[in-house]
């Protein structure tokens, strides 16, 4: 176990100061539960792409979101307030880019596309099966990153 995670510390400290992140009791149990949910979301999403591409996309997004939240939960951190989902990416990139930024950055596309489906405008195109199929490997990669990190990252 690493004694203290230094990469991105200034960004995380600023997010705490700005109340975009808050300290909570570190919980490996919660992190594991979130990762279990993420896996179930991915399974359900993959099985339902043709019948419900929007729902499948949203589940893929939720899997990625819960994976990033699991990393923070294990560290004793939680995103909060308006833009809390975007803060998950900011915190992840601060601590993990490099080397994992390429895979993590896909979360932004997942988040924005999910938001456009959740809060559509009349001109918003619907999510297609192609979109849902594109989302699945991106979300799976983020879940895999979280699974590798939860056992090794220390409490913040």
**CA 97/CA 81 separation, integer angstroms:** 24
> What confidence category does residue 4 fall into, taking pLDDT thresholds of 50, 70 and 90?
confident
Instruction: Summarize the confidence of residues 21-40 as an average pLDDT.
Output: 98
* Angle at CA of residue 67, ends 46 and 37, nearest 5°: 55
pLDDT for 3 equals: 74
Instruction: Summarize the confidence of residues 82-87 as an average pLDDT.
Output: 97
Instruction: Summarize the confidence of residues 76-97 as an average pLDDT.
Output: 97
Give the pair of three-digit tokens for residue 105: 């950055």
Domains of the chain and any CATH numbers: 26-76+99-149 (1.20.120.330)
Residue with tokens 């900011």: 90
Please, what is the angle between helix 53-75 and helix 84-96, to 10°?
60
pLDDT of 89 > 70? The answer is yes
pLDDT for 82 equals: 94
pLDDT of 1 > 70? The answer is no
> What confidence category does residue 127 fall into, taking pLDDT thresholds of 50, 70 and 90?
very high
φ, ψ at 79 (rounded to 5°): -75, 155
pLDDT for 110 equals: 98
φ, ψ at 34 (rounded to 5°): -65, -40
pLDDT of 64 > 70? The answer is yes
Which pTM does this prediction carry?
A: 0.96
- Tell me what the pLDDT averaged over the chain comes to: 96
Q: Which of 15, 26, 151, 35 is nearest to 92 (CA)?
A: 15
**CA 14/CA 22 separation, integer angstroms:** 11
Instruction: Summarize the confidence of residues 136-144 as an average pLDDT.
Output: 98
């Amino acid at each position: 176990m690493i004694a203290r995670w230094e990469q991105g510390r200034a960004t995380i400290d600023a997010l705490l100061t700005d109340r975009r992140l808050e300290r909570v009791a570190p919980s490996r149990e919660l992190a594991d539960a979130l990762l279990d949910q993420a896996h179930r979301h991915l399974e359900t999403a993959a099985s339902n792409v043709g019948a419900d591409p929007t729902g499948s996309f949203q589940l893929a997004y939720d899997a990625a979101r819960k994976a990033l939240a699991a990393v923070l939960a294990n560290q004793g951190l939680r995103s909060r307030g308006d833009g809390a989902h975007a803060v998950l990416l900011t915190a992840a990139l601060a601590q993990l880019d490099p080397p994992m930024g390429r895979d993590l950055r896909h979360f932004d596309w997942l988040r924005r596309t999910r938001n456009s489906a959740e809060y559509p405008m009349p001109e918003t195109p619907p999510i297609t099966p192609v979109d849902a199929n594109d989302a699945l490997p991106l979300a799976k990669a983020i879940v895999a990153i979280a699974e590798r990190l939860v056992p090794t990252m220390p409490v913040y």
